[in-house]
Amino acid sequence: MSRLRLHAEPGPKDASLSAAEAYTRIASDYDDSVAGDAWMRRALHAHYRRMFAPGERVLDLGCGTGLDAMFLARHGVHVLALDVSEGMLEQARRNIANARLDSLVETRVYDAADLQRLDLRVDGAISAFAALNTVADLNEVAAGLSRVVRPHGRVVVHMLNRFSSWEYLGYLAHRNWHAARLTGRAPAREFTIGGRRVVHHMYDWRSAYSNFSPCGFRLRAAYSLGALRPPHTVRRVPGMLVRVLERLDVRLGALPRLRDVGRFFVLDLERSAIPG
């Protein structure tokens, strides 16, 4: 598991700079580093297919190396892919060019917290793999999305969960009782990425949604990913059992007792006709 610590939170600009520098350092190796969670990305992609139609325009917030933007583009969706890390966007541009999807994906260095400055209207938005956990003020993101997403447009947000059943079990297995008691209590934590400590603001699905609701978003669905299926760093679970748990994880993540304990949660949101 990642080495974590409680911290004094930096201001929003410092947090963005830290994340940008950290992810630039790992950009060339990023795709390999997330390969162990390919099953989770497949589940997200299946969700995106249900939400967005060919010809629609979608924002990808914290697009990283463009994996999700390219998936949407392959299905005819136009994507504006934003990230604070120039290094990640350089890798994304290479990936997009190699896939010959340049005509469908535009990339920009941009902070998700500044969406209210964008002069555009889109049909929806996505943000995957904890990109929004690194933003200091989630309400600013929600307010920006409310301005740029059309009425009844859909937003799919995938974020690190404050409490993870597998993290908790890991502490118990190592008899780290103190860490087990603290699991899920920290409002913010630090993950070491590219040799830099990057602040991640931690939410459960309810507290995350509380930032979107006042900005005119209705909750269509909330579910977990990674409540049952072990992380790829857990080596001792037989492969056949992992595959069974993966199928159950994807099917049952919306159950009340599971959606609170996954490594990640997903919010499926709809922008109301009249925000606020």
Q: What tokens does 169 get?
A: 């079990």
Strand order across the beta sheet in which 105-109 lies: 105-109, 78-83, 57-61, 122-127, 149-160, 264-271, 217-225
d(CA 129, CA 40): 9
How high is the pLDDT of residue 273? 78
How high is the pLDDT of residue 274? 67
How high is the pLDDT of residue 196? 86
- pLDDT per 10-residue tile (average), the chain, 276 residues: 37 62 90 91 98 98 97 99 96 98 97 93 98 96 97 98 94 92 91 89 98 98 98 90 97 97 98 73
How high is the pLDDT of residue 8? 36
For 3, which DSSP code? -
Q: Do residues 57 and 38 lie in contact, with contact meaning Cβ atoms separated by under 8 Å?
A: no
How high is the pLDDT of residue 34? 86
Query: Count of CB atoms within 10 A of residue 56's CB?
Result: 19
The closest of 204, 212, 216, 208 to 256, measured between CA atoms, is: 204
The closest of 65, 56, 157, 148 to 104, measured between CA atoms, is: 56
Phi, psi (rounded to 5 degrees) for 127? -155, 125
How high is the pLDDT of residue 15? 56
Query: Count of CB atoms within 10 A of residue 148's CB?
Result: 19
pTM listed for this prediction: 0.90
Q: Do residues 188 and 239 lie in contact, with contact meaning Cβ atoms separated by under 8 Å?
A: no
Q: Do residues 273 and 152 lie in contact, with contact meaning Cβ atoms separated by under 8 Å?
A: yes
How high is the pLDDT of residue 19? 86
Q: Which domains does the chain have, with CATH numbers?
A: 4-271 (3.40.50.150)
